[in-house]
Structure 1
């Protein structure tokens, strides 16, 4: 019993394998429901756009404990369930099954929704996903993303027949062990059909690929990072040098603009291009010099340097894998005109 004046929490209702979701975006799609709920178990039915405002839905899991897992997860999570940025309220339904509705994920299409269980987002690369699924036919596009309890991918094939072959062969299977990092024990694939027919891929990156368009720009904010080190003659790790520096900026108490970075880095030579972007919640920049020698001097001198007094806007520098920046794909960038 609750003490006087304290309401019962909604997750103390009698559990059911059918969940009632409220405060959904208007005309929420079946696929959006599946993406929200599927990490917790197999979904056998949905009923969308319920209520006067069409902002409620019912989702039926194959097993009651899967529904309990989802309710428990969000009851204890600091982050609420969300669809299109709206907080979704979840409770057990009074009904124990959904009738007169089709099962989601069973209408064959050319795009598969793949949940990769037992891994973090960085454990399975998009190249590994492509290798596994291209064994069944030409893969047009791949988009990966993270949901509340899982890493997922959308994989577009030429037609539904090819997608169906891949699903029938791989659903419930594991990615071969030799393609996984050592710390990953196993990762099972749970595959359904997506409502998408043509994925909208704007950039090639470690999260998305369009194999039909070789001219699609690369998004350096998504793929750049410190390059792999090699071992020098003295036995110490040596970073491959480049004429482009990757700068991570800590303790951002003041704005760091392209002009500010140009002032700092041009003291060592001609700065050809600069690009600023956000990554992993922090600010980073790429600075291009004409040659490696100039970049090396700037890196050695400015590593750990604070742009502003008081320890503000501290620079950490490494060499980028880039050698010539395409500033058109950056939000905040400039190119020195000759």
Structure 2
């Protein structure tokens, strides 16, 4: 680069040197402004990641120094029956909860998109539950889905339906948790509503002129035009589903109760938490955390690969 600058005429060489100095000053200023984030990332993200990778290769109980055991923790994962149980519960939860969550979010967003002046009120009303602390949502789960006098069974009883024991029957524990997760559907609804507001009205007008009905307009126009936002909501909620913890732990494990359907509510992160902070198996818990990271990474990569065929971005050449 210096040789190129030296070969320029004197006036151009002066301007080039001045631009290079200005670029260096701007780079230093930019680094100075983002240095708090860089320091925070290194201290609170990068270092814990590296330390966790090391601890996953050790036998560490917080009290004593880590004892290097190699891949023993990872081998133990394949022998622990609760790993299969917790991972199976988590996969089932994610496979059912994410599509249901996205469908409900989309349905509410489409309704609000037609609400006119009242949209602002309902948008706030649907989003407010997101402000509820997750621990309170876990308590709400026990109250609403109580098999004896819970709100859900009271409503079902009004129609002559004998509701199940949601919180004690292992077959109904996960459905109860999945339905409770819809309490926070407002955040995704806001994202999809914003995407719907950006769909050009001219497309719908042209479709009506061509005789397209409501379903055809939704499938041919609405879904493709908001597919980017839908994909974002799916990815974010898939990651969140694999990390579900607070509500289920509060409802079924927070009091130390080890009976009544806990096996059905034992999600992977709950078991990870138990290993780390109840049994003090930090090395084993770190190995569990890295396995979860790999699972989420692989699923996200598959979603990204699929999105290339299903997601439409405006201005993209097809």
The TM-score, its normalising length taken from structure 2, stands at 0.23
Larger proportion of helix: 2
With CA pairs under 8 Å and 6+ residues apart, which has the higher RCO, 1 or 2? Answer: 2
Larger proportion of strand: 1
The TM-score, its normalising length taken from structure 1, stands at 0.22
